Amino acid sequence: MNGIVNSLGGTNTSVAPGTPRIVSSRFDEPQGHTLEGYRSTGSYRGYEGLRAVLDMGPDEAGEMVKEATLLGRGGAGFPAGVKWGFCPPGVWPRYIVVNGDESEPGTYKDRVLMERDPHQLIEGCLIAAYAIGAAQVFLYVRGEMAHAQERVAAALNEAYEANLVGRNILGTDFSVDIVLTWGAGAYIVGEETALIESLEGHRGMPRLKPPFFPAAKGLYMRPTVVNNVETLSNLPWMANHGVSEYRAIGTENSPGTRLIALSGHVNSPGVFEVPQGTTTFRDLFESPEFGGGIRDGHELKMFIPGGASAPWFFAEHVDLPLEAKVVGPEGSMLGSGAVVVMDETTDAVRACLRIVRFFARESCGKCTPCREGTTWEEQILTRLLEGHGRPGDLELLLDVADNISPGPYPVASDPQNSLEAVPYPPRQTTICPLGPSSVAPITSAIRRFRSEFTDKITRRPSIPVGSETPAPATAATAGEVGHG
Amino acid sequence: MAEETPKPVELTDPVEITVDGETVVAQGGDLLIDACERAGTYIPRFCYHPRMRPVGMCRMCLVEVDTGRGPALQPSCMLPVTEGMTVDTRSDTVAKVQDGVLEFLLANHPLDCPVCDKGGECPLQDQTYAYGPGESRYVEEKRHYEKPIAISETVYLDRERCILCDRCTRFADEVAGDPLIHFIDRGSSTQVNTFPDEPFSSYFSGNTVQICPVGALTAKPYRFKARPWDLTEVESTCTRCSVGCRITIESSQDQILRFQGVDSDAVNWGWMCDKGRFGFEAMNSENRLLAPMMRGEDGELTEVRWSDALSGVTSELRRALDGRGPSSVALIGGSRSTNEGAEAWARLAKSVIGTDNCDAQLGDGLPAEAALGLPGLTIDEVCAPGSTVLWMGPDPLETLPVLQIRLRHAVLNDGVRIVEVGPARTGLRSLVAARVPAAPGRLADVVGGLLGGDVADEFAQASEILRSAGDDLRVVVGRANLAESPDTVLAAVGAVRSALPAARFLVALGRGNVRGALEAGLAPGLLPGGIPLSSGELPQGWESIPAEEGHDTTGILSAAAAGRIDVLVLLGADPLTDFPDRSLARRALAAARCVVAVTPLLDASAAGAHIVLPAAGFGEVDGTTTNLEGRVTPVSAKVTIPGTARADRSIAGALASRLGATDSWDSPEDLPGAAESATDGDGPASGPDGDLLVGIDRELPIPSVGDLEVPPTDAYSLRLVVARKLYDRGTMLVESPSSAALAPGSVALLNPADAAPLGVEEGSRIRLISASGSISIPTVPDESVPKGSVLVHHDLEGADPRELVDISDVVCDVRVEVA
């Protein structure tokens, strides 16, 4: 395979032949993470883009990003240039927060970006800070990513020494500091307002929007732009090559490329840079540059197109392009660029439990429906798998889900069973989408594989489940029904 | 359960909204949940509390709101009202969501209701009946925690019952400023707890019990004592300090079982301190005095009949009057009483006996003319948005705790700036915009310098803040140091007034109804209503007024010690414990021919009295009380007076009639309370905020202090500062089982720079020696104590700083030796 093996274990990286590498051009360079390597390798010369932006002035820099329609790569896909424009004019100081708390199951592109090309991210931060007029940049790296933390910290030290960060950058009157912060190990902190709470030293719990839109009331109640690592990593290339060259890649609505983290039952999982909107899921799974086909001798059962919180897709969806505006109406989302492939050996109920359990464990505990509901869902699924399912459990499961995320649920279309797609995102009774995220796998799985669920109730198989599961309901506790 | 109603709002920006089809005018920007409640539509909630920032956690208050883009589920506790908003609080979607939230909350909530203190007044219970599912579909095992755990001396936490609404944790962090409880873990294992080995030791912990929407937090003094439906309640006012928090007194079977805070917008916003909240325990003490006692021939106090006791007092009074005349009789105290009780004692003393030797303060306050006669301020005015406050008073956290809560809110939310000037750092700590130390005796110089702009560079900012306020400067004044003459405070008041003639003051006196007692005439030289004795006016219903001006407590005790007082009446006052100069108090009580103590509990002074008359306590007498602002509010009788104890008014009346007064003193109508007739409203019972006294802006001539002779400091001495702690060994606290253990031990706090040359470190014992006495005490080096001073707290277990104080000195210098 045409990738390299890093110190944390193999991660394939690749592009399709002929595609320019925007963010991954140094992934295979052994010294790409150093300042020297950043300046001498890759698809552009490091920190030249910054110099160009400093010459053009902040307004033009902002205009460049707007014109390029640089879509956010964190999950929501909102244009970064528009987001920057939400900062109320004349309100200072304002901050940039870089969301490096990548923790959606299946997503690991930002980790690779930080490990293999940290200077690219730093330069991206500087360009953004200059365009927005930010007083400070806060770079928040997920707590568990030790290697990424080391690489980013080392790169930042190099950059400070080379007068690329700090006071009077490159001899101009532009000064900005970049502050590194490590997370403490909570998925929810990937949500921007929870990340801001965490940065302020509080327990990571999301804030309600409105009123706490970061652009208006963000970090320390100041205007704050929160951008994803990959989003900012696009900026140096863009500043070097110009907007028209950037827009020439991908589609009109979704220009440029994006990193896809492919995992699951494919022959060669990895992080791949693909042009937005033109590559299809089939290319991703089957092309030898990418997945190299479904695991030997097996066939696709389902796949998650955009991270664990996305509703599932099935075989009939593989020819859809990786384009948010297409995937959305089909009932799912591209989200954070994590594609998880499952073949026919996968038990849909167990897969569902695996994802639900993740959300139950990671619920921050703030909103009642998410805190109590996700755990309840996990308990019901565990019970089904352990052979303690009851008639009516599926209706109960769906109704608990409905109380977290009032239906109709976003689901993938299934023409054979004449099921229409319901677009994402769902309605929610919670502040953030974590709780509703647990609903997507449940509704997807029950609608498509209902018989697998009912079999577990009627046939009572006994499939052992992981050791974390709570004790099954006993006769004594099962009698504790009703609140009178 | 105390009501939690939306806090008052002024309609300055009226907007029209539609609530369930009806058009309603609301204040723009008001929270939707409050606007709906004001309009008569209650939206269920658990986490929202009108006096705390909304968090939108429980999701119970979700309603469908349409602002033009179709109905969407929104938490009404976090949504400001805007013009044209359409709200549906009862749609099918809303009903389903509310049903769902309740089912989620109940999933893991134990069915303890039959044995839970909250059962019967439980918002979770009530709302489940109103909005919830009939039964649960949850068949899994509920989560389990150790039940309950003590998170402080008085509060228990049952995490199984907790619904994680963030009320207690927000209160601790946001309102009390004691962020000692927080969420730990996450998901459905999220729980509230303290930090390891750090109890929730907050002076305000009891409020968390009151605002808990389930029975997760319970208070030790109330646990398992009653069911809510057995309780009856009456509104009253707490008189443990002079803030005058509005409360309900709740009792069952003629026993007071708890106090709950009532939301008075002008005073306490529903909060209380723990000393006040759990203070009812003292009234239930088995040591309550139930019958009069007289010292028999064996020298022991023995119970007697009331008629014998009253005859005893009367004959002593007659003997004194016949002998050296009225001025040989003196009364100390009365701040424990109601306004009406104080009025009765003042009338007995001044009209019937004819002595002006009356003082409701114990040498720890300011002259009555200053307490009543400075242009006044209310708490609201001190805390008004944008105001600048000069704090030259005692520690609000330790002496007026709920005022501290109000100040904290004012500083953090309303841009109020406080400049603290005093001998030691107070509980305001980081809330102050600037702190300027003033060594004992130097307050006037420091304040004068700050207002005149004549200060060292490090205090330039403090000076600038004060000077920028101009005449609008709001001054809080009181006794920060009991080892320093009140003249030093008066001099500082003079310095403020000469720089800013229009400055106004809030006089921070500590004792419960001290303001009311002074207003009633329990002050030398004053008649009821603050009228000077020298005016010669005869108060309504009085027969005469004293011929000559009397003494304050210091003067009375000095006279007694010199053998010039024959009958000394202590009205719930305990000079042996509370008077700053212990030696003088001891000598005075020993020398008085007859000491009469009128008190509900046998305090140290009463234990040595000749005649003890049992008085009714708090919650046993109807009447009014006056807080430090001059706000008159009702106090209510809830339970029967124990034994044969009697109300102050009844005792004073009985003595008056035995002394030959002809009027009847028995019914309240015969005793128009000075306060009651002087308020501007419809009487003191008009609403939770009570009424301010008319004439709050009266000005009385403040005693002039001339040039204070502050002795120069010498290199061998430290200047003593004696301040109060909330929990000390006061009789009421000792008799409250849940509070008694909270008083810390006595230590001497001194600046590390003063400690170092002595070679002492934390815990080393030192000896403090003054001209009056010496004490041995452990040391604690503390940066916050200015160099050259030593801080010892009043009346704690261990060494007693009052042994060192001579009340006639301006300051108290002590020599320090390593013990």
What CATH code is assigned to B293-365+513-684? Answer: 3.40.50.740
Q: Of B601, B638, B602, which is closest to residue B620 (Cα–Cα)? A: B638
Q: Examine residue A15 and state whether it is found in any structural domain, yes or no.
A: no
Q: Residue A462: pLDDT above 70?
A: no
Locate CATH 3.40.228.10 in chain B. Answer: 373-507
Task: Return the structure tokens found at A459.
Answer: 């046939």
Considering only CB atoms, B101 lies closest to which of A366, A368, A471, namely A368
Is a pLDDT exceeding 90 seen at residue B344?
Answer: yes
Q: Are residues A352 and A338 in the same domain?
A: no
CA distances from B601 to B304, B313, B332, B572, B662 (A): 16, 19, 16, 8, 31
Residue B176 DSSP label: I
Question: Does residue A7 surpass a pLDDT of 60?
Answer: no
Q: CATH 3.10.20.740: which residues of chain B?
A: 14-90
> Is the CB of residue A68 less than 8 Å from the CB of residue A199?
no
Looking at beta carbons, which residues of chain B come within 8 Å of A470?
A: 140-141
Helix pair A48-56, A118-132: axis angle to 10 deg: 10
CATH number attached to the domain at B14-90: 3.10.20.740
A53 and A176 in a single domain? The answer is yes
Q: What is the pLDDT averaged over residues B403-422?
A: 97
CB atoms within 10 A of CB A281: 23
Number of domains in chain A: 3
**In the predicted model, is pLDDT for residue B384 greater than 80?**
yes
Cα separation, B672 vs B677, in Å, equals 7
Q: Is B667 a residue whose pLDDT tops 70?
A: no
The answer to whether the beta carbons of residues B142 and B110 sit under 8 Å apart is: yes
pLDDT at A424: 75
Topology adopted by domain B717-818: Barwin-like endoglucanases (2.40.40)
Average pLDDT over residues B84-88: 96
Mean pLDDT of chain B, nearest integer: 92
Cα separation, B543 vs B40, in Å, equals: 55
> A126 and A81, same structural domain?
yes
pLDDT at B364: 92
Q: Which of A247, A270, A305 is the last residue of a domain?
A: A247
Q: Provide the ipTM.
A: 0.90
pLDDT attached to residue A179: 97
| pLDDT, tens digit, 9 for 90 and up, residues A17-36 | 777 899 999 999 999 999 99
Task: Report the pLDDT value the prediction gives residue A482, as an integer from 0 to 100.
Answer: 37
Res A480 pLDDT > 90: no
pLDDT band of residue B309 (cuts 50, 70, 90) is very high
Whether residues A365 and A429 fall in one domain = yes
**Is residue A171 helix, strand or coil?**
helix
Among A227, A247, A267, residue at a domain's last position: A247
Pair of tokens at residue B598: 């009128």
Q: Determine the Cα–Cα distance for residues B817 and A386; give it in Å rounded to an integer.
A: 76
| A429 Cα to chain B: minimum distance (Å) | 7
B255 strand-pairing partners = B252
- What is the residue-wise DSSP string for A246-313? HHTSB-SSSBSEEEEEEEESBSS-EEEEEETTT-BHHHHHH-TTTT-SBSTT--EEEEESSSTTSPPE
B141: which chain A residues are within 8 Å (Cβ-Cβ)?
Answer: 470-471, 473-474, 477, 480
State which H helix or E strand residue B598 sits in: strand B594-599
Instruction: Find, among B208, B113, B227, the residue nearest to B152 by Cα.
Output: B208
Write down the mean pLDDT value for chain A.
Answer: 89
Distance between CA atoms of B437 and B423, rounded to whole angstroms?
Answer: 6
- Contacting B residues, span 137-176, partner chain A, CB-CB under 8 Å: 137-142, 163-164
Residue A395 CB contacts under 8 Å (≥ 6 apart), including other chains: none
Q: CATH 3.40.50.740 residue ranges in chain B?
A: 293-365+513-684
- Contact assignment for B73 to A473 by CB distance below 8 Å: no
Mean pLDDT score, B54-72: 93
The pLDDT of residue A464: 57
pLDDT higher at A473 or A194: A194
Asked if pLDDT for residue A412 goes beyond 90, the answer is no
For residues B450-460, give the mean pLDDT: 93
pLDDT at site A361? 96
Burial of A457 from C-beta contacts in 10 A (0-12 / 13-18 / 19+): middle
Same domain for A156 and A207, yes or no, is yes
Helix or strand run (H / E) with residue A369: helix A368-385
Q: What is d(CA B651, CA B377) in angstroms, rounded to the nearest whole number? A: 35
Residue B213 has a pLDDT of 97
Cβ neighbours of residue B154 closer than 8 Å, sequence gap 6 or more: B205, B206, B219, B220, B221, B274, B278, B738, B739
Over residues B256-291, the pLDDT tens digits come to 999 999 999 999 999 999 999 999 999 999 999 999
| Domain end point (choices A206, A222, A247) | A247
Q: Are residues A31 and A55 in the same domain?
A: yes
Range in A97-101, A453-457, B328-332, B757-761 with the lowest mean pLDDT: B757-761
B100 vs A403, A470, A483: nearest CB = A403
Neighbour-count burial of A431, counting CB atoms closer than 10 A to its CB (0-12 exposed, 13-18 middle, 19+ buried): buried
Residues A355 and A392 in one domain: yes
Within this chain, do residues A158 and A230 fall inside the same structural domain, yes or no? yes
pLDDT computed for residue A2 by the predictor: 36
A124 within 8 A of A156, measured Cβ to Cβ: no
Mean pLDDT throughout B452-470? 94
Q: Which of A365, A374, A429 sits opposite B183 (nearest CB)?
A: A365
What is the span of the domain harbouring residue A40?
22-247
Residue A44, pLDDT score = 94
Q: What share of chain B is helix, strand, coil (3-state, %, to 5)?
A: 30, 20, 50
Tell whether B110 is within 8 A of chain A (Cβ): no
CA angle B698, B701, B705 (to 5 degrees): 140
Q: Testing the interface with B: which of A363, A429, A469 to mutate, by most B Cβ within 10 A?
A: A429
Q: A224: which residues sit within 8 A by CB, 6+ positions away?
A: A94, A95, A96, A97, A196, A214, A215, A218
**Residue A463: what pLDDT?**
55
What are the strands, taking DSSP E only, across A294-438? Answer: 300-304, 313-314, 338-343
Distance CA B684, CA B671 (A): 15
CATH of the domain at A415: 1.20.1440.230
- Residue A38: the pLDDT is 97
A386 and A412 assigned to the same domain: yes
pLDDT digits (tens, 9 = 90+) for A342-395: 999 999 999 999 999 999 999 999 999 999 999 999 999 999 999 999 999 999
- Positive or negative, the CA dihedral B805, B806, B807, B812 is negative
Residue of A nearest to B192 (CA): A365
The token pair at A450 is 């209902």
Cα dihedral across residues B407, B411, B416, B419: positive or negative? positive
Task: Identify the pLDDT of residue B664.
Answer: 60
Q: Which of B315-329, B456-470, B661-675 has the lowest average pLDDT?
A: B661-675
Phi and psi of A320, rounded to 5°? -70, 145
CATH number assigned to the domain comprising residue A331: 3.10.20.600
Task: Return phi, psi of residue A398, to 5°.
Answer: -70, -35
Give the length of chain A. 484
List the CATH number of the domain containing A208: 3.40.50.11540
- Residue A201 in tokens: 């030293």
Distances, alpha carbon A324 to alpha carbons A83, A226, A423, B273, in Å: 18, 20, 12, 57
Residues A202 and A64 placed together within one structural domain of the fold: yes
A373: Cα separation from own chain's centroid: 23
B190 interfacial to chain A (CB closer than 8 Å): yes
Q: How far is B604 from chain A (nearest CA, A)?
A: 49
Interacting residues of B462 by C-beta distance below 8 A, sequence separation 6+ = B419, B421, B433, B434, B435, B436, B450, B455
Min distance B304 CA to chain A CA atoms (Å): 58
pTM over 0.90: yes
pLDDT at B680 over 80: no
- pLDDT of B623-639, one tens digit each? 999 999 999 999 999 99
- Domain membership of residue A378 (yes or no) is yes
Please choose, from the candidates B442, B465, B444, B451, the residue with its C-alpha nearest in 3D space to the C-alpha of residue B388: B465
- Give φ, ψ of B80 to 5 degrees: -75, 145
Interatomic CA distance for residues B173 and A220, integer angstroms: 17
| DSSP state, residue B172 | I
Domain B373-507 in CATH 3.40.228.10? The answer is: yes
Asked if A483 lies within 8 A of B128 by C-beta distance, the reply is yes
Of residues A368, A375, A404, nearest to B187 (C-beta): A375
How many A/B residue pairs have CB atoms within 8 Å? 130
Q: Which tokens in the block code for residue B173?
A: 């962090």
A269-280 mean pLDDT: 91
Is the pLDDT at A443 greater than 50? The verdict is yes
Least confident of A141-145, B130-134, B431-435: B130-134
Q: Where are the alpha helices (DSSP H) in B709-787?
A: 731-734, 737-740, 752-758
Report the candidate in B512, B438, B554, B483 with the shortest Cα–Cα distance to residue B723.
Answer: B483
Confidence of residue B2 (pLDDT cuts 50, 70, 90): low
Domain-embedded: residue A252: no
Enumerate residues 6+ apart whose C-beta is below 8 A from A56.
Answer: A64
Is residue B600 within 8 Å of B574, Cβ to Cβ? no
Same domain, A225 and A78: yes
* Number of CB atoms found within 10 A of residue B292's CB: 27
Percent of chain A residues topping a pLDDT of 90:
77
Cα first-last separation, chain A: 63
Mean predicted confidence (pLDDT) in B388-401: 97
Instruction: Give how far Cα A33 sits from Cα of A40, A46, A450, B792, Å.
Output: 11, 11, 49, 62
Residue B507: closest CA among B374, B399, B411, B381: B374
CA count, 13 A, side-chain hemisphere, A423: 6
How far apart CA B505 and CA B596 sit, in angstroms, is 36
Q: Looking at residue B133, what is its pLDDT?
A: 86
Cβ contact B441:B708 at 8 Å? yes
Does the pLDDT value for residue B135 go beyond 90? no
- Which residues are within 8 A (CB) of B123 and not within 5 positions of it... i.e. 6 or more apart? B1, B46, B213, B214
User: pLDDT at position A442, please?
Assistant: 95
- Any bridge partners for residue B338, and if so which? none
Local structure of residue A419 (DSSP, 8 states)? B
Facing residue for B141 by CB, picked from A429, A471, A481 = A471
How high is the pLDDT of residue B420? 97
Q: Name beta bridge partners: A15.
A: A273
Model confidence at B86: pLDDT above 50: yes
* B322 Cβ under 8 Å from any chain A Cβ: no
Are A287 and A366 within one domain? no
pLDDT digits (tens, 9 = 90+) for B777-811: 999 999 989 999 999 999 999 999 999 999 999 99
Query: CB A406 to CB B73 under 8 A?
Result: yes
| B187 contact A CB<8A | yes
Q: What is the mean pLDDT of residues A412-424?
A: 79
Identify all chain B residues contacting A371, using CB atoms and an 8 Å cutoff.
104, 164, 187-188, 190
pLDDT given for residue B670 in this prediction: 45
Q: Classify residue A10: in a domain, yes or no.
A: no
Assess whether pLDDT exceeds 70 at residue A483.
no
